[in-house]
Amino acid sequence: MIVCFHCGDACITTTIKHQDHCFCCYGCKTVFDILNENDLSYYYELEASPGSTPSKFDGKFDFLKNETIAHKLLEFDELSTKIVSFVIPSIHCSSCIWILENLNKLNSDIKTTHVNFPKKEVRITFSAQKLTLHQLVLLLCKIGYEPYISLNDSNSKTPVINRSLIYKLGVAGFAFGNIMFLSFPEYFEVSEFWLDRYKPIFRWLILIFSIPVAFYSGSDYLISAYKSIRSKLLNIDVPIAIGILVLFFRSTVEIVMDWGSGFLDSMAGLVFFLLVGKFFQEKTYAFLSFERDYKSYFPIAVTRFINDHTSKEKPGVQEEQAQVYDLVAGDRIIVRNNELIPVDGVLKKGKVLIDYSFVTGEAELVSKRPGEHLFAGGRQQSGVIEMDVLKSVEQSYLTQLWSNEVFSKNSKSSFQTLTDQISKRFTISILSIAVLATLYWLVYNPSGAWTVFTAVLIVACPCAIALAAPFTLGNLLRIFGIHKCYIKNSGVIEQLANIDTVVFDKTGTLTTNYKNIITYEGIELTDEERSLLTSTLRATNHPLSRSLYHILQNYNIHTLDNFKEEVGQGIIGVINQNKIKVGSYAFVANDQPELNPTIQNQTSVHISTNDTYKGCYMFFNEYRKGMQKVFESLAKDCQLAVLSGDNEGEKNYLKNTLPSGTDLVFNQKPIDKLNYIKALQAKGKNVLMIGDGLNDAGALAQSDVGLVISENINVFSPACDGILDATQFKNIPAFITLSRKGKKVIIYAFIFSLCYNLIGLGFAVTGHLEPIVAAILMPLSSISIVLFTSLYTYIIGRKFNRKNNK
Amino acid sequence: MSIIYLLLAISVIVALLFFVAFIISVKNGQYDDTYTPSVRMLFEDELIKKKPQIATKTNEQTLMTDQLK
């Protein structure tokens, strides 16, 4: 097979030979020429076929000609220099970085470009005297790097990056190292003249270093503990905060009173390890966003007609690029092919075929006539239309879903993690041990009571327990990521382990996006009729016609004598007085008996020749491979359900294929799906929702864990907890099992670290906790827990790999 | 042994210098993207490698293909 030199796709329909290379289309060839002429062909040496086919963009970015819109996108704009950042989804390899950072070779007005690969972002500084933002975007499009510009970009210019964890980690690490260094002489407990003489200065230095550790690096724990006490929940941060504070104040007293060296080395180590755990847990996928709403999908501007009677130079109707937010009821706008309808309105002019799959999940194209209502969120599929705006963006049917309370509440707060569950008992028992031991010492040896009380609180500080979950979950997060399941944060994995109900969306989730399976039912067509059919289908652009044409194309194609297309109805073709009608049942066979309901519910194309009804082609969605297996293995310990926005056409098929007990619900609107999940949760279920589109957004937000299946993870998906690559669909049960194993690892680590605590408590209650014991025991327990969880998760991950490869 | 004061001061100052350097580098965003620089450093300035003669050949060929269209 010949592979395109530029984009690496197989050359199926056309192969263009050019300069010893083959290209799959003229788009790819053009990019090659542009790069070659500018001596940028190293692009192809860095990686094999690194490019992407430039898509058609006629007029798509015209809104950038509007100064106010362009200005909103710019990060910096002063006199001649402008800076702009774009997200470019097609960035995927080192060649991409190279070509984008050499943009100035293509246009000398571009000063510098800087690629942030993990974020798929490019920051361009350009001179504005000759080059406009519009031209810059067109240049990027021309070489196949079309930026993604959405309504979201117009609001916030530079997102604030929170780097406080790195700072805190830096401070703690710096202080920890220095404190260890300074307390080294103390560890040997030799009474040597010079050492004794300089002890105070070492100790005071240690004290100074430890102040920022306790109150800056450890501030998260102190604040969190304070909040949790106020809300009467004892989370794991409470004993940690007690530990930090007791360590700090006891040591301060010891140093100030010159009683001893204190435990500041242990404290700095504790805070440092805890922060390392936190840092490790925060694996983020910068190129994915889990917090999207409709704003990321909507265009930033549309073409609006303005009726300017006052202007004398150009009276009458003019076109203007208006921001979507500025649209008001009564405006007339133009929506081009493949553009999203941004507002609710009434169709005025043009042929409409709308793909509402985005909103309803139904893959069917909907056709409308002038005068009918159009809802926001549909994607126009056939040419240019004009429509009158009825409601502004915020009041549209689709966007109203986001005013539902699910989107404003923070679902994470209600979930109690495993660590939180045990921390309450842990805190209470530690406090009672401390009190009991102190009471005992008060009776028998009052002088040691203070030491024992603080020693218990110090040694019981649950550093190892607090580290168990971050390291286990952080490791799992990476394993998930390797297998193309991108999870928002580590808490989601713990929630995934508790799942007992799995709800699937049908279209796009269980099925692929292509209607590939086509069957014919009715009277057999003659060869002549088939050739007539094929010739007729060729003349139209309707997606169903095209996929039907694709399987029929071997038949001879003749030039049609007559061709007519009725929008939303069907097509008529005539060759040699033979007439064929292709389209909906009502169109094709107007005086035929009522169609039987099973066919009626299917996506079908009906055919009649010379006014006799022949039969119909039915289109079926292709279900994902391994769907049955996924359901069977999930059914063992989960309740299952399928929600669909579609009609009941495939109910029987699903009923027979899926395990009995699977709830099948059809005709579900987005809000119905949300309520279905809510009802399950009211029964105490932990629900995993697996969906794909905006129509599932409410359900995804409501569910305990919302996973989105995506054919192409670079395409933006709705707000969710995780994004799963469609190829990994068959692994859903394995992912759930993996997270359950992770939960087990955490429990083992808890038991392990409790043993350490018991040993430490032994030293503490007997009054033998020397600083050196604490300095050894605490890091030792932390490190061994980290090693234990890392090793265990590594083994689990390898097993998972092996199963996957089978 | 009072040299120890000086040694301590020096060691703390050196440590602080590195610490400040770290903070500044974080602030400048050096840790925001830890992947791209690792790729970028491997690029060479091989742009001029292709000599003009090849470029003219390219132009001719594109002209030819343009005529063919």
pLDDT tens digit string along A648-682? Answer: 777 788 888 888 888 888 888 777 888 888 898 88
Residue A256 tokens read as: 């100030």
Whole-number Å distance between alpha carbons of A215 and A557: 80
Co-location of A391 and A259 in the same domain: no
Considering its fold, how many domains does chain A have in total?
Answer: 6
Cβ distance of B36 and A115 shorter than 8 Å: yes
Of B12, B15, B59, the CB nearest to A37: B59
- Write the pLDDT tens digit of every residue in A781-800: 888 888 999 899 999 888 88
Q: Which of B15, B22, B47 sits opposite A40 (nearest CB)?
A: B47
In a domain, A47, yes or no: yes
DSSP A349-412: ES-EEEE-HHHH----EEEE-TTSEE-TT-EE-SS-EEEEE-S-GGGSHHHHGGGSGGGTS-GG
Helix (H) or strand (E) holding A45: helix A42-46
Parent domain of A16: 1-53
Which residue in the set B12, B27, B50 is minimally distant from A41, CB to CB? B50
Nearest to A218 by CA among A277, A256, A267: A267
From residue A359, give the alpha-carbon distance in Å to each of A658, A670, A674, A697: 26, 8, 14, 9
Higher pLDDT, residue A112 or A319: A112
On chain B, the residues whose CB falls within 8 A of the CB of A117 are 33, 35-36, 39
Contacts of B43 in chain A (CB under 8 A): 98, 101
Identify residue A785 by its one-letter amino acid code. I
Min Cα–Cα distance to chain B from A248, Å: 21
Instruction: Write down the pLDDT at residue A248.
Output: 92
Do A589 and A633 fall into the same domain? no
Same domain, A616 and A652: no
Residues A369 and A247 in one domain: no
pLDDT digits (tens, 9 = 90+) for A472-503: 888 888 888 888 888 888 888 888 888 889 99
pLDDT of B23 reads 92
First to last CA, chain A: 28
pLDDT of residue A428: 87
Name which of A52-66, A88-102, A132-146, A614-628 the model is least confident about.
A52-66
Q: B66 CB near a chain A CB, below 8 Å? A: no
Give the C-alpha separation, A796 to A791, whole Å. Answer: 9
Please, what is the Cα angle at A11 between A6 and A12, to 5 degrees? 155
The total of other beta-carbon atoms located within 10 Å of residue A237's CB is 27
Question: At A501, is the secondary structure helix, strand, or coil?
Answer: strand
Helix (H) or strand (E) holding A456: helix A449-459
Alpha-carbon distances of B54 from A26, A73, A108, A275, rounded to whole Å: 21, 39, 22, 57
Looking up residue A70, the CATH number of its domain turns out to be 3.30.70.100
CA distance A571 to A345: 28
Q: Are A697 and A719 in contact (CB under 8 A)?
A: yes
Residue B26 C-alpha from the chain's centroid: 16
pLDDT at B58: 44
Instruction: Using pLDDT thresholds of 50, 70 and 90, give the confidence band for residue A216.
Output: very high
Contacts of A160 in chain B (CB under 8 A): none
| pLDDT score, position A556 | 67
Give me A240's structure tokens: 């940690």
Q: Which of A154, A183, A198 is the last residue of a domain?
A: A154
Residues of chain B contacting residue A101, judged by C-beta atoms under 8 Å apart: 40, 43
A409 or A406, higher pLDDT: A406
| A174 touches B: beta carbon within 8 Å | yes
Among candidates B5, B26, B39 on the partner chain, residue whose Cβ is nearest the Cβ of A117: B39
| A37 contacts chain B (CB < 8 A) | yes
Judgement on whether residues A223 and A250 belong to the same structural domain of the protein: yes
Q: Is A799 among the domain residues?
A: no
H or E stretch covering A640: strand A639-643
Least confident range from A10-24, A526-540, A584-598, A686-700: namely A584-598
Q: By C-alpha distance, which of A663, A606, A592, A243 is closest to A423?
A: A243
Q: Is some CB atom of chain A closer than 8 A to the CB atom of B7?
A: no
CB A739: neighbour CB atoms within 10 A?
22
In this structure, the number of other CB atoms found within 10 A of the CB of residue A753 comes to 22
Q: What does the pLDDT average to over A381-407?
A: 73
Do residue A554 and residue A591 come from a single domain? yes
CATH code assigned at A322:
2.70.150.10
Q: Residue A12 pLDDT > 80, yes or no?
A: no
Mutate to test the interface with B, among A22, A31, A43, A166 (most CBs of B within 10 A): A166
- Min Cα distance B58 → chain A (Å) is 7
- Predicted pLDDT at A431: 86
Which chain B residues are closer than 8 Å to A164 by Cβ?
Answer: none
Res A172: pLDDT: 94
In a domain, A500, yes or no: yes
In this structure, the answer to whether residues A628 and A500 fall within a common structural domain is: yes
DSSP state of A104: G
Highest mean pLDDT among A147-161, A422-436, A446-460, B5-19: B5-19
**Burial degree of A65 (CB within 10 A; 0-12, 13-18, 19+):** middle
Distances (CA, A) of A271 to A254, A466, A770: 20, 11, 20
Which residues from B are below 8 Å from A115, CB to CB?
Answer: 36, 40
Chain A residues in contact with B65 by the CB 8 A cut-off are 18
Question: Would you call A76 helix, strand, or coil by DSSP?
Answer: strand
Residue A233's CB is within 10 A of a number of other CB atoms, namely: 13
E strands in A645-747: 663-665, 687-691, 705-710, 722-725
B4 pLDDT tier (thresholds 50, 70, 90):
confident
Establish if A192 belongs to a structural domain. yes
Question: Does residue A412 carry a pLDDT above 60?
Answer: no
From the list B15, B22, B29, which residue is nearest A170 (CB)? B22
Contact A178 B35 (CB under 8 A): no
**Dist CA A239 CA A235 (whole Å):** 8
Q: Give me the sheet containing A517-522, strands edge to edge.
A: A517-522, A612-620, A603-609, A578-583, A570-575, A562-566
Q: How far apart are the CA of A136 and the nearest CA of chain B, in angstroms?
A: 22
What residues does A710 pair with on adjacent strands? A725
Closest residue in B to A166 (Cα–Cα):
B26
Distance separating alpha carbons of residues A256 and A258, to the nearest angstrom: 5
What tens digit of pLDDT does each residue of A613-640 get? 888 887 777 788 888 888 888 888 888 8
Nearest 5°: phi and psi at A364?
-65, 140
pLDDT: which is higher, A479 or A152: A479
Res A200: pLDDT: 84
Q: Could you tell me if A232 lies within 8 Å of chain B, comparing CB atoms?
A: no
ipTM: 0.71
Strand order in the sheet with A81-87: A74-78, A81-87, A121-127, A110-116
| Per-position b or e across A334-344, b if 16+ CB within 10 A of its CB | bbbbebbbbbb
Residue of chain A with shortest Cα separation from B59? A37
Calculate Rg over the CA atoms of chain B. 28
Last residue of one domain, picked from the residues A620, A644, A668: A620
Contact predicate A695/A461, CB 8 Å:
no
Query: Is there a contact between A709 and A509 (Cβ–Cβ < 8 Å)?
Result: yes
A122 lies in the same domain as A176: no
Residue A288, domain member (yes or no): no
Distance CA B9, CA A182 (A): 12
Taking CB atoms and an 8 Å limit, are B43 and A98 in contact across chains? yes
Average pLDDT, chain A: 79
Report whether pLDDT(A315) > 70: no
Q: Which of A131, A154, A177 is the last residue of a domain?
A: A154
Residue A748 lies inside a defined structural domain of this protein: no
Short-list A93, A95, A98, A106, CA closest to A141: A106
Amino acid A430: pLDDT: 85
Q: What is the mean pLDDT of residues A95-101?
A: 83
Within a domain: A428: no
Among A304, A354, A311, smallest CA distance to A330 is for A304
Task: Report the chain A residue with the minimal C-alpha distance to residue B64.
Answer: A18
**Rounded Cα distance, A222 and A228, in Å:** 10
Q: What is the dihedral of CA A112, A116, A121, A122, to 10 degrees?
A: 10
CA distances from residue A347 to A302, A337, A367, A375, A387 in whole angstroms, order as listed: 15, 15, 11, 10, 4
Interface of A with B in 177-216 (CB under 8 A): 177-178, 181, 194, 197-198, 201, 205
Nearest residue in chain A measured CA to CA from B22: A170
What is the DSSP track for A538-605? HT---HHHHHHHHHHTTS-----SEEEEETTTEEEEEETTEEEEEE-HHHH-TTSPPPPHHHHTSEEE
- For A27, the token pair is 């788009």
Contacts of A734 (CB under 8 A, 6+ apart): A800, A803, A804
Q: Is A258:A115 a contact under the CB 8 Å cutoff?
A: no
Neighbouring residues of B5: CB distance < 8 A, sequence distance ≥ 6: A201
In a domain, A767, yes or no: no
Containing H/E element for A682? Answer: helix A670-682
3-state secondary structure at position A346 = strand
Asked whether the predicted pLDDT for residue B66 surpasses 60, the reply is no
The percent of residues above 70 in pLDDT, for chain A, comes to: 85
- Residue B69 has a pLDDT of 41
The domain that contains A504 carries what CATH number?
Answer: 3.40.50.1000
A635, two tokens: 């059914």
CA dihedral for A446, A452, A453, A454, sign (positive or negative): positive
Report yes or no: A230 at the B interface, CB cutoff 8 Å. Answer: no
Q: Residue A201: its chain B contacts at CB < 8 A?
A: 5, 8
Task: Using a CB–CB cutoff of 8 Å, tell me whether B51 touches chain A.
Answer: no
Return the SS3 of A84. strand
What is the pLDDT averaged over residues A464-479?
Answer: 86
Q: Test A42 with B8 for CB contact under 8 angstroms.
A: no
Across the interface, do A170 and B23 touch by the CB < 8 Å criterion?
A: yes
Closest listed residue to residue A217, CA positions, set A265, A274, A259: A274
What tokens were used for A678? 């809510």
Q: Tell me what pLDDT residue A57 has.
A: 65
Question: Residue A600 pLDDT > 70, yes or no?
Answer: no
Number of residue pairs across A and B with CB atoms under 8 Å? 77
**Which of the given ranges, A445-449, A511-515, A550-554, has the highest pLDDT on average?**
A445-449
Query: A18 and B40 in contact by Cβ < 8 A?
Result: no
C-alpha closest to that of A263 among A197, A196, A213, A220: A213
**Do both A47 and A193 map to the same domain?**
no
- The residue among A365 and A803 whose pLDDT is bigger is A803
The percent of residues in chain A predicted with pLDDT above 90, rounded, is 6
Q: pLDDT tier at B53 (50, 70, 90 boundaries)? A: very low
Assign B47 a pLDDT band (cuts: 50, 70, 90). low
Six-digit token pair at A102?
């050499």
Higher pLDDT, A387 or A66: A387
Q: State whether A602 and A578 are in the same domain.
A: yes
- The terminus-to-terminus CA distance of chain B in angstroms comes to 90
Comparing CA positions, the residue from A339, A325, A303, A334 lying closest to residue A396 is A325
Question: Hey, are the CB atoms on B33 and A170 less than 8 Å from each other?
Answer: no
Residues A629 and A641 in one domain: yes
- Residue B9: count of CB within 10 angstroms of its CB: 10
How many Å lie between the alpha carbon of A100 and the closest alpha carbon of chain B?
Answer: 11
Query: Which sign does the torsion angle of CA A336, A543, A606, A642 carry?
Result: negative
Chain B residues close to A171, C-beta within 8 Å: 19
pLDDT of the residue at A215: 92
Using CB atoms within 10 A of its CB, is residue A366 exposed (0-12), middle (13-18) or buried (19+)? middle
- Residue that the structure tokens 């996928």 belong to: A285
What is the edge-to-edge ordering of all strands in the sheet holding A365-368? A365-368, A352-355, A379-380
Contact of A33 with chain B, judged by CB distance below 8 Å, is answered with yes
Comparing A232 with A160, which gets the higher pLDDT? A232
Q: Are A570 and A655 in a shared domain?
A: no
Here the tokens at position A771 are 């600083």
Residues comprising chain B, all counted: 69
